[in-house]
Structures are given as C-alpha cells and as structure tokens.
C-alpha cells in the first residue's frame, strides 16, 4: 500500500503492512478454495456465471448467467446489434473509450 499524503506516510510501517497484506492474500485464497469446494469445482477456471446468484428483489434471485446473457464473439464489433441481448442494444451504442456518458 502506498499513499501520497505525507501525514499518512509517517504512520505507514512497511513490515507491519507487509504482514497484513500477506495475511489478507492468504485468507482470500482460502476463501476461494472454500467457494470452489462448495460448488464441487477444482479450479477457478471452472467457475461460470451460473454459479453466482444475485437477489433482484425481496423474493427473487437470478443467476448472473440469466442477468447477463452471453454475447457471441465479435457481435459487438459489427454494424448491427440485431443478435445481441437487449441490454447491450440499449447501452453499447453509448459506450465510448474517450469519455463516460452516464445519460
């Protein structure tokens, strides 16, 4: 961790921070292992959108695969968006690498 704030730099004890970062990373890997085992998987590469559920309202959940349908390779590069899922038809034309258009 780094900071540009001179006051915070004084309080930064690198050996202590290094140990905390190491522990955080180890705990993250342990949690990932537990998640994979609970899903009956062996590697992170086996994770699919269908493994994750998201609450969409007080009574309903949907898998991320349902919420974010697959888009075929190259579909967003074509002139027409006729065969892409509806959310992409609405939002993709507004996307720009030059700026954020939130409207």
Q: What is the pTM of this model?
A: 0.56
* pLDDT at site 27: 98
Judge whether 36 lies within some domain: yes
pLDDT at 54: 95
Do 84 and 64 lie in a common domain?
no
CA dihedral 75, 77, 81, 86 (to 10 degrees): 70
Instruction: Please report the pLDDT score of residue 49 as a whole number.
Output: 92
Do 83 and 61 belong together in one domain?
Answer: no
Cβ proximity of 31 and 43 under 8 Å: no
Task: Please tell me the total count of domains within the chain.
Answer: 2
Query: Which domain does 89 fall in, by range?
Result: 71-103
Residues 101 and 77 in one domain: yes
Q: What is the pLDDT of residue 81?
A: 64
Mean pLDDT of successive 10-residue segments in the chain (103 residues)? 71 81 96 95 94 94 89 75 75 80 62
């Amino acid at each position: 961790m780094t900071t540009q704030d001179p006051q915070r730099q004084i309080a930064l004890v690198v050996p202590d921070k290094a140990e905390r970062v190491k522990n955080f990373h180890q705990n993250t890997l342990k949690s990932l292992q537990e998640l994979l085992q609970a899903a009956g998987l062996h590697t992170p590469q086996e994770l699919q959108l269908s493994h994750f559920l998201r609450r969409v309202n007080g009574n309903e959940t949907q898998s991320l695969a349902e919420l974010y349908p697959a888009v075929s390779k190259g579909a967003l590069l074509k002139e027409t968006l006729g065969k892409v899922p509806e959310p992409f038809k609405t939002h993709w034309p507004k996307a720009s690498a030059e700026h954020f258009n939130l409207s």
